[in-house]
Structure 1
Amino acid sequence: MFELILSLGKCLVDLTFSEWFSGKSLHISTLNITSTGCVSSSLTKLKIEVNTFDDCLYLLDGRLQCLSTLIIKIFEICYSLANIDNKKTLPKLKCFSLTSECYTQFYDDGIVLLLRRMLNLEKLTLFLLVSKIESTYIDGIQLYDEILIFMPRLNKLTFSINTLVFNRYITVDLPSNDDIQNSFIKRRYQPVGSYADEKLTDYAGRCHVYSLPYEFDCFYHLTNCFQGGIFNKVRWLAMADQHPFEHELFKKISHDFPFLQKLVVLNSKPQKNKQHASTLITFVHLVELNLRLAHTNYVEQFLLETKTCLPHLKNLVIEYESLVMITNNFTNDATHRNCSQLRRIDIDKPFICPENFHSYFPLL
């Protein structure tokens, strides 16, 4: 299909390409992109979703001769399987946006090398999740020395970069959040938000750096180190930590993410300060809640009407045992209000509905 569009659109200058089937994106196959028919002498702007980093490299190998703006979302960035030149400069490219929502280890040997080719870039947007082994976090000094110094004409940088490090065999002194902030201040960046683990837990540590104001609709892997702020554009939030999330953090999130619609909580640690949860929290716009990989304390935190108000909750992802426990086998009045508007429950395994199940969830 992509090849056909390019062949028919001889004068096409702006293309957004995304196929949809049953609500899920079908990414272009590498076979189509590598086809000799995927060429254009007129296209200047392309917005596209692809499967691999190789697909991105093929699009930038010269077949799109006039391309100046590329907005690309890559499903998975992994080591290149093809012999594609990732060194030739890209002087015509003025605007580049790269999004990938899967963790990649191909940052230094792939992404960095690609970005260094964009000598005349004026606008750069990065949304990345990077994993590193025996290393440290990506900070302002690394960004400048490894990438931005090669882009003398860059006038706008928008980014959200999560770094997950695994340091098992060597000792790496991880920077504090103040160190990370200073790394951006020294290089005269625009305002930047950040939070970071200063110590490893099970050999792992997380850091998140992002330009302000925050421009993306997704926010990944918020931890207890989160520093706060206002994130009006975020609609999807994932929380993950190996230390418990307490009531006060959820209160902060309800304030700092006022238009949040989807929330994922990944935490197996029980709360320690349940007795201090006296303030009612309201998530006004939340429609989808995923607690499948969360301790039962968080099921209680969100479903008990004395702790949290979820007036528009429609979809719940949860383990059956947790749901049965907190609703007291679908008889607990204190959880009924937050459950009464549910239209879909995604449970981890098949089960036989008890007699009062449908009366407890009348809209299912």
Structure 2
Amino acid sequence: MIHDYDKYIIPLLHRMINLEELILFLTVIRTDSSFIDGTELCDQVLVHMSQLNKFIFSINTDVFIENNEMDVPLSEDIQNSFIGKEYGQVRSYVHFEPKKPTNQNIDFEEAKAVVKSHIYSLPYQFESFLDLNNSFQGGMFVNVRCLTMTDSYPFEHEFFKIISDRFPLVKNLTISNLEPQKNKQHSSTLISFPHLNLLNLIDAHDDYAQQFLVDMNTHLPCLLDLCILYESLETVTNNFTNGATRLYCSKLKGLHMDKAFVRPKHFDEYFLETNKICSQTRNNPPF
């Protein structure tokens, strides 16, 4: 994350006047300021690079709101800022998150909310997609292998179906969402992440462990590593006796939790192939 984008990144780019190819993958933090959009990129970057013939980017902007009078742009405003400029195909969206006790994404005490925007060139070229939220606009992301999903509004079952279709080759998935799902009755549609190796639920509500570890909800044939709170794992497995979660747990190679623990009864027979079990602090997860 970059807090001083205007101070350091922009002056650096201004010196690259002969650059022919530019690739930017950034998360920028601002307070009571504007988002990085097509107009700003044109005025601050493109006009200084007359030799530029290829520009690929994925830029997340997180604006922390301390002033209630700040005007929050619509997704259409951000998208329209690219019209008539030489960017090729671009997609963008804006997402508003109020400050809640469960929202750990807002870590500034003075902030009342955070407004996030994501602008990216298409086709999407990067292997990572950061901070996907419920305002996601769709598209295909066949290059993405590492996906993080973050929101203070719940991710429902049907949304995960969309994500599994749009990110068919993802191998590493991190979910940061402490809000319980509203729709507890999952549809009969089976979600499949056929290449997922690593699932990080260390900052996720128990419902997301239920969503992914119950084999009738989600198909995870390649899952090898799980990062999760011990209490969540204990709950979703019903103290390591739940048959609905046994299939995936029995095939795990690595299990990473937030604290040390004494292995209870049934634990070893539940995690038959797990040869790496370690504890990690919540603020310093292993992945």
Structures share fold, TM-score greater than 0.5:
yes
Q: Superposed, which structure 2 residues align to 1:250-289 within 5 Å?
A: 250-289=160-199
Deviations 1:172-218 (A, max 9, x none): 21221111111112324210122211x45122111111111111111
User: What residue number does 1:299 align with?
Assistant: 209
Q: Tell me whether 1:107 sits opposite 2:5 in the alignment.
A: yes
Correspondent of 2:61 among 154, 163, 167? 163
Indicate conservation of the 8 Å contact 2:186/2:217, yes or no: no
User: What residue number does 1:193 align with?
Assistant: 91
Q: Tell me whether 1:136 sits opposite 2:34 in the alignment.
A: yes
> How much does 1:169 deviate?
2.3
- Aligned with 1:293: secondary structure? strand
Distance 1:169 1:178 in 2: 23
Indicate conservation of the 8 Å contact 1:134/1:170, yes or no: no
The number of aligned residues is: 261
Deviations 1:216-270 (A, max 9, x none): 1111000000011111111000000111111111111111111100000000111
> How much does 1:110 deviate?
0.7
Q: Tell me whether 1:216 sits opposite 2:113 in the alignment.
A: no
Q: TM-score, normalised by structure 1?
A: 0.70
> Comparing 354-363 with 165-174, which one deviates more in the overlay?
165-174
- Aligned with 1:174: secondary structure? coil
- Aligned with 1:219: secondary structure? strand
Correspondent of 1:184 among 82, 87, 94? 82
C-alpha RMSD over aligned residues: 1.1
**What amino acid does structure 2 have at the position aligned with 1:336?**
R
Indicate conservation of the 8 Å contact 1:137/1:174, yes or no: no
Stretches of structure 2 that go unaligned for 5 or more consecutive residues are 100-112, 275-287
- Aligned with 1:273: secondary structure? coil
Indicate conservation of the 8 Å contact 1:122/1:156, yes or no: yes
Q: Superposed, which structure 2 residues align to 1:45-84 within 5 Å?
A: none
Higher relative contact order (CA 8 A, sep 6+): 2
- Aligned with 1:184: secondary structure? coil
Q: Tell me whether 1:238 sits opposite 2:135 in the alignment.
A: no
Deviations 1:129-152 (A, max 9, x none): 100011121110010011111111
Distance 1:268 1:125 in 2: 33
Distance 2:80 2:31 in 1: 24
**What amino acid does structure 1 have at the position aligned with 2:126?**
F
Q: Superposed, which structure 2 residues align to 1:35-50 within 5 Å?
A: none
> How much does 1:171 deviate?
2.2
Distance 1:142 1:207 in 2: 14
Q: Tell me whether 1:126 sits opposite 2:24 in the alignment.
A: yes
Indicate conservation of the 8 Å contact 2:29/2:61, yes or no: yes
> Comparing 312-321 with 167-176, which one deviates more in the overlay?
167-176
Correspondent of 2:72 among 174, 178, 196? 174
**What amino acid does structure 1 have at the position aligned with 2:98?**
T
Q: TM-score, normalised by structure 2?
A: 0.89
Correspondent of 1:357 among 267, 271, 275? 267
Correspondent of 1:339 among 237, 242, 249? 249
Deviations 1:292-349 (A, max 9, x none): 1000010100011111111110000000010011001111111111222100100100
Indicate conservation of the 8 Å contact 2:97/2:151, yes or no: no
Q: Tell me whether 1:116 sits opposite 2:2 in the alignment.
A: no
Q: Which has the larger radius of gyration?
A: 1
Cα 1:212–1:303 shift into 2, 3 Å: same
User: What residue number does 1:321 align with?
Assistant: 231
> How much does 1:276 deviate?
4.2
